[in-house]
Structure formats: C-alpha cells, structure tokens
Copies of this chain bind each other. A is one copy, B any other.
Amino acid sequence: MNVHDPDYRAVTLADVARLAGVGESTVSRVLRNQGSFSKRTEGRVAEAVASLGYVPNRLAGMLAGSQSTAGAKLVGIVIPSLANVVFPDLLSGAASVLDRDGFQSVIGVSDYDLGREETLIGALLSWRPAGLIVTGLEHTDGALARLRASGIRIVEMIDTDGPGLDIVVGFSNRAVGRDSARHLLARGYRRIGYVGHDVTRDLRAGKRLAGFTETLTEAGVPLHDREIAPGASSAAAGRAALDRLLARTPDLDAVYFSNDDMALGGYFHCLAAGLAIPDRLALFGFNALDITAAMPQPLATVRTPRRAIGAMAAERLGDGGPSEVIDLGYDLIPGATA
C-alpha cells in the first residue's frame, strides 16, 4: 500500500479522533498541546496516533491556521549561493533561532541573479510566510514591489550600506573596506593592489572595494593596480589573478582580495612563486574563514559575525517592532600576512 495506489488515503486527524473516541478539535488540541484536555484524553489520543502512525498534514494546518496571527509558523529565506561558506553560516545562525521558536523555513538560492531573486521572492511569498529574510539591499523594482505588497516583516541581512526596506541586520561593507585600507596604510604599505572577482554579481565585494579605494585615495596613495577575475570567487581564480596582476605590476607591496577564497589562492601563488609574505608582498582578505587560521601564517582578514547576523535576522522576524538598522560590526584580524 502506498501513495500511488489509486484508492490510497492518508491517515487523517478524523481517523485518529474516531479511534480515540473523541472529537476532532480535541485531537487537534492535544497534538498542539494547546488549550486544555484531561490526562485520560491525552493518553487515548497518543495511543491512537501511535497505532495509526498518524502524521499531521502541515499543509492543511497552515491553511486553516493562516487566518489567525499565530497560524503561519513559516519563514522564507533567500540567499545568493550555497557555495560560499558565508551563506550556510548565515543559514545555520537563523536556523538555531527558528528551530527554537518552532518555525519552518523554506530556502531559495538566487545564484547572485537579481532577476532570479525576484522570481524566488514571488515563489516564497506564495507559501504565505510570516516573514522573509533576504540578502543584501539591492533588489529589482519588481522584487521591491512584491516585498512591500506582501505586508509581512522583511529582514535584509549582511549589508547596512544603503536604505533598507524594513529591518536591516549586518555590518557596513564600505567600512570594512576603509578599515582594511587603513590597516595596510598603517603598516606602511604604499603600492597596493586589488584582486577581485565579478563585482556585478557580488555587490557587497564592490562596496568593500569602494570603501577601500576611497580611503587610499584620501591618504594620497591611490590603488596602484587591480585585477578582476571573471566568474565566482575561488582559490584558483585568486591565484591566477594575482599571477596576472604581478606580471603586469611587479612592484606591488600589498594586495587586498575580495575575500578569503581569493586570498588563499593568492597565498598559494606566493608560495609557488617563492615570494616572501609579508615582506615581499602582503595579503589581506575578508571573511575570516576557519581555514585561514590554520595557515602557516594566519591570513590578515576581517571576521564577520555571520552566525550572529543570521540569528538576529531570525530574531527580528518575530517581533513587531519598528523598522531599524542593526549593525553587528566586525573584527579586523591582523594575522601574519600583512
């Protein structure tokens, strides 16, 4: 007997009620441990549930419960990618809070494509979630319209550089860029280069770079040269890009990378090319991936509170407070490569 048999019918709450000899609403109350019922009833119901192998149908439950505020225990989350550690971290931070509060989440991956993000937002909204967590502040007009029209709590996470829709949780990427530049300047580097990946897709990396060059320029030490690798960030892309950059501009004394993956690639290039770090060339990354702490020379990078951002985003989804921007900051890790 399975779902494909033409006359298959799942066990329903009504079946349980019948077997237990109680009303449907009583079973519902017992199952949700809400309202009052006697110990005896609870026992009967538990027994019936066990003997029938009853599994509640959450679809029906949510539909029915959607009329009340307490109903929809569901949230939607949109992230650009799963390949970059950042996002799984954000997700697990959010999951820890969501689990605690008994929320389910439906996740959409936009693949750094704002058009696809708009589609995903529409799809997630059709689940009638109690709230939505999206990544970044940049969205298509259509996406913004849908988000506004939804009338639900929206949390934009990671980035605080710009106007948000409702709740914004994250840190300033621009400030990260500025601080990174300040750090390199303080260490005495003056011929500074940049190695990044496709910024049209990863807008946050673009903001860091903007802050970085801004500070350099203010200090009278403009960015010496830059190399942008096409496609997503990766160690291989970082290694190849640094190679190209140095071939063109050998006199650099420090390189700022769009993130740690790229920086790790750069590190490998230096090892392979026999360039002393940080004396011949300093390296600076972003994200503080776990792996960078295990390097022979810990990478100079910036640690972002990823899990905390995810957790805070989930936290704020629930409350009905006013719109606000929550800056969770970041830490600059000096490391040994810059």
Contacts and interface: CB of A to CB of B under 8 A. Distances in A.
Interface residues of A, number: 59
A302 B88 CA distance: 24
Interface string A147-162: 0011110000000000
B126 A291 contact: no
B62 A290 contact: no
Given A92-B83, A106-B104, A152-B2, A126 B294 contact: no
A151 to B, nearest CB: 3
Interface in A240-296: 261, 264-265, 268, 271-272, 290-291, 293-296
A59 interface: yes
The oligomer's copy count stands at 2
A109 interface: yes
A294 B239 CA distance: 7
Contacts of A126: 55-58
A19 to B, nearest CB: 16
A28 interface: no
A60 interface: yes
A123 interface: yes
Interface stretch (A180-188, A193-201, A230-238): A230-238
B8 A151 contact: yes
Interface in A60-109: 60, 62-63, 66, 69, 82-83, 85, 88-89, 91-92, 95, 104, 106-107, 109
Nearest to A261: B291
Contact of A88 (B63, B82, B149, B295): B82
A107 B106 CA distance: 7
16 contacts: A53-B145, A55-B146, A57-B63, A57-B66, A58-B127, A59-B63, A82-B82, A95-B109, A234-B294, A235-B291, A238-B294, A239-B294, A265-B294, A268-B295, A271-B296, A272-B296
Interface of A: 1-4, 8, 10, 53, 55-60, 62-63, 66, 69, 82-83, 85, 88-89, 91-92, 95, 104, 106-107, 109, 122-123, 125-128, 145-146, 149-152, 234-236, 238-239, 261, 264-265, 268, 271-272, 290-291, 293-296, 320
Given A59-B66, A63-B63, A272-B296, 18 more contacts: A1-B151, A2-B151, A4-B69, A4-B151, A4-B320, A53-B149, A55-B122, A55-B126, A55-B146, A57-B63, A59-B127, A82-B88, A82-B91, A83-B89, A106-B106, A236-B293, A239-B294, A271-B296
